[in-house]
Amino acid sequence: MSSCQKISAFAFAFFALSQVYAADDAVVVTATRFPERSLDVPIGMTVIRADRIANSAAATLPELLSQEAGIVSRDNTGSPDRQIDMRGFGMTGDQNTLVLLNGQRLNEIELTTIRWSTIPLDSIDRIEILRGAGSVLYGGGATGGTINILTKEPVSGTQEATLGGAMGTLGTRERHGGISRTGDGLGFSLNFNDYVSDNYRANNRVDQQTIGGALRLTGEKGHLLFRFGLDNQNLRLPGERTAAELASDPRGTRRPADFAGRDGAQASLGGSMDVGFGEFAVELGHRDSARTSFLKDYTFGFFNTYTDTRVGVWSLTPRLKIPFQAFGLAHSVVLGVDLDDWKYDSRRAAGLEALSNPAARVLATQKNQAFYAQLQTAIGDRSKLTLGMRQHRVSMTAVDRVNPAAYAQGVKTSSPRAWEIGLRHQLTSATAIYGRVGESFRVATVDEGYSQFGGPLFDAIVTLLEPQTSRDRELGVEYRAGDLRARASTFSMRLQNEIQYFAPTFSNINLPPTRRQGLEFDLAWEASSAVSLFGNMSVTEAKFRDGLIGGVDVSGKTIPLVPRHTANAGFSWRISEGMRLNGVARHVGKAYYDNDQTNTFPSQMPAYNLLDLKLTRQWRDWAISLAANNILDKQYYSYAIRNGAGTSFNAYPQTGRMFVASLEFKLR
């Protein structure tokens, strides 16, 4: 996109968009990329609202999300940006879970986790979780599901200011604040967060800052919304621990020099307008990041690796929603186009001083162009049919400028598609059943197509992989009556060309056929005006259907890092006026170690159980809280990898018992 085109797009958005969404106490956007009434919320969707986020003992977004059915988190850095895995994808969980911020993709074209810590918890209005869906409307990487995080917007006629801080064990300190105000036609909000912690491990200090805001312009016929955000993170990397070190010194490190840093920025401008026969909406967004890291003796155990990577993306997402009547039925169709343009530049050397003459320099681009359509039809008062399709085109280029070999560069164009057929039927006023079938896809990241040591001379090679595809099915039932909500579902995903790392060749490959299938159960109950309870459990099976990996038959073997059983149970108790106690217990079952695709390692990663509590006292404009995480001081790890010989493993121990006290002042 040229500079003139970018300026024109911003100008068009500023002068043309002009429709205010009607007020509704349960508006969601994940399902159609437009606001929907609570009546039209898709069955199976989970919505986490701001009050639950505020009361939760979770300190980060991944911790909060891992309390939901079918979602686990894992960590191998100590960063607040833990990996999220929906419905059992193991080490590629991040690449198979689509994360949106106000409807805009946060997934990168690198093998990096979502920048969760750039989204302060107190800036979130709600989180929408739609399992096993999202590819038609949002594109690749949604096979496991879609998570849409909606931040607070300036609300007409309100003003608010917040200032707070926290202190805790492990040298943890946090400061946050925000302000929002609206007048006639103009509203703005601004928030910041400053977080520091030494963390549980030696050489694992994290220091990060974020700032973000929104400006909303409304008029008689419309609105325009501009959002921006800046973030910075400096993280020390403690590295792995052997089995012996886990027993003798789990908090130690053998990598006192390793670190990673990140600077990011994002901005978007968008809105919507009534065009008479329907509603038109569009967003223009830009995001970039600069990442650096140093890993001593990382390559083959002898050579240092310093990496400097710059990534930027422009995106444009126009769409149109048209309601109409035909054949005696009420219909609504959403038509849209997604365009994005990625630039990637990564230099790798033995140290910062050698970066001007790098050992490798990877330049890559990715351009996505997609058209999608989704039709929803009301069949009587009780049934709703959804039909959707997406035609996607992705063009990728990658070249290592240091290696002149022909195999160190590549160009590939693919045309994956997605489709979905869904039907829900209201059996009674409280009970509904639903079913979905469809196809989803994922395109390999740049890091999955490039290997610095995978070439014939242990040199760089570019192998642009085939898109991963999945045939998906789901059947579920949901009960909603009064203060009780329950959901049960069964799902199946049959994948071709699944993308995963293969250690012996130092590169990623397309796997032989795999499958995911399982059961999920959810229950939430407002037991009284003072007590609410929730619980969920998941049974997930992730296996190779057939085929060979490295000449070894893996038919029927379990995919590493996927626990078969997970469960959560929690409560919220209003002890007295202004005082509340919240708690959650989590169970994560055992799983095979990473790199154990043959399931031959003599043991599995142990199961673990965690308990978190948070006590909150509110008085007038003040709130004070005390949170205790992992209150039983469980020693555990969520990620570990076996060695190539299958004789030992390395693990990344997680935080033990931790306490955090916070104080917040809110003026309205």
**Buried b / exposed e along 292-328 (16+ C-beta atoms within 10 A):** bbbbbebeeeeebbbbbbebebbbbbbbbbeeeeeee
Pick from 107, 42, 28, 20: which is nearest to 281 by CA? 20
**What is residue 300's predicted lDDT score, i.e. its pLDDT?**
65
User: SS3 for 587-604, per residue?
Assistant: EECCECCECCCCCCCCCC
Distances (CA, A) of 31 to 20, 187, 431, 474: 19, 27, 20, 16
Pick from 212, 28, 46, 200: which is nearest to 123 by CA? 212
Q: Reduced to 3 states, what is the DSSP secondary structure of residue 181?
A: strand
Pairing of strands 223-236, 259-274: antiparallel
Locus of tokens 């609202």: 49
Mean pLDDT by 10 residues, the chain (668 residues): 38 31 45 63 76 84 93 90 94 92 87 87 88 90 92 76 95 94 86 95 96 87 88 95 94 95 95 90 94 86 89 96 93 95 96 94 96 94 93 96 96 96 93 94 92 89 93 94 93 95 82 96 94 96 93 94 97 94 96 94 96 94 95 96 90 96 92
How far is Cα 266 from Cα 284, in angstroms, rounded to an integer? 11
Whichever domain contains 115, its CATH number is: 2.40.170.20
How far is Cα 71 from Cα 87, in angstroms, rounded to an integer? 7
How far is Cα 459 from Cα 297, in angstroms, rounded to an integer? 18
**What is residue 16's predicted lDDT score, i.e. its pLDDT?**
31
CB 501 within 8 A of CB 445: no
**What is residue 83's predicted lDDT score, i.e. its pLDDT?**
94
Cα of first residue to Cα of last residue in the chain, in angstroms, is 43
How far is Cα 502 from Cα 398, in angstroms, rounded to an integer? 20
**What is residue 281's predicted lDDT score, i.e. its pLDDT?**
93
Please list the alpha-helical segments (H only) found in 78-205.
135-138
CB 309 within 8 A of CB 322: no
253: its two tokens? 């490190």
125: its two tokens? 């209005």
How many H-runs (helices) and E-runs (strands) does the chain carry? 6, 40
CB 258 within 8 A of CB 227: no
Distance from chain centroid for Cα 282: 22
Strand partners, 477: 433, 488
DSSP conformational letter for 545: -
Q: What is the signed CA dihedral for 30, 95, 335, 414, rounded to 10 degrees?
A: -170
126: its two tokens? 């709600």
How far is Cα 630 from Cα 58, in angstroms, rounded to an integer? 11
For residue 73, give its domain range: 3-667
How far is Cα 148 from Cα 36, in angstroms, rounded to an integer? 14
Q: Reduced to 3 states, what is the DSSP secondary structure of residue 397?
A: strand
The 97-101 sheet, strands edge to edge? 46-49, 124-131, 145-151, 97-101, 104-105
459: its two tokens? 């040199």
Q: Radius of gyration over alpha carbons of the chain, in Å?
A: 24
Q: What are phi and psi of 95, to 5 degrees?
A: -80, -10
**What is residue 43's predicted lDDT score, i.e. its pLDDT?**
62
Instruction: Burial-class residue 668 by CB neighbours within 10 Å (0-12, 13-18, 19+).
Output: exposed
How far is Cα 382 from Cα 645, in angstroms, rounded to an integer? 58
Pick from 365, 368, 420: which is nearest to 392 by CA? 368
Q: Report angle CA 200, 206, 207 to the nearest 5 degrees.
A: 145
**What is residue 9's predicted lDDT score, i.e. its pLDDT?**
36
Model confidence, pTM: 0.90
Where on the phi/psi map is residue 239: left (φ > 0), alpha (ψ -120 to 50), or beta?
A: left
Distances (CA, A) of 611 to 113, 167, 251, 614: 25, 20, 21, 11
> Which secondary structure element, helix H or strand E, spans residue 247, and what is its range?
helix 243-248
Pairing of strands 145-151, 97-101: parallel
Pick from 316, 268, 376: which is nearest to 37 by CA? 376
Q: Reduced to 3 states, what is the DSSP secondary structure of residue 609?
A: strand
How far is Cα 411 from Cα 292, in angstroms, rounded to an integer? 26
Cα torsion 338, 146, 33, 271: sign: negative
> Which secondary structure element, helix H or strand E, spans residue 374, and what is its range?
strand 360-379
Q: What are phi and psi of 4, to 5 degrees?
A: -65, -40
Task: Report the domain count for the chain.
Answer: 1
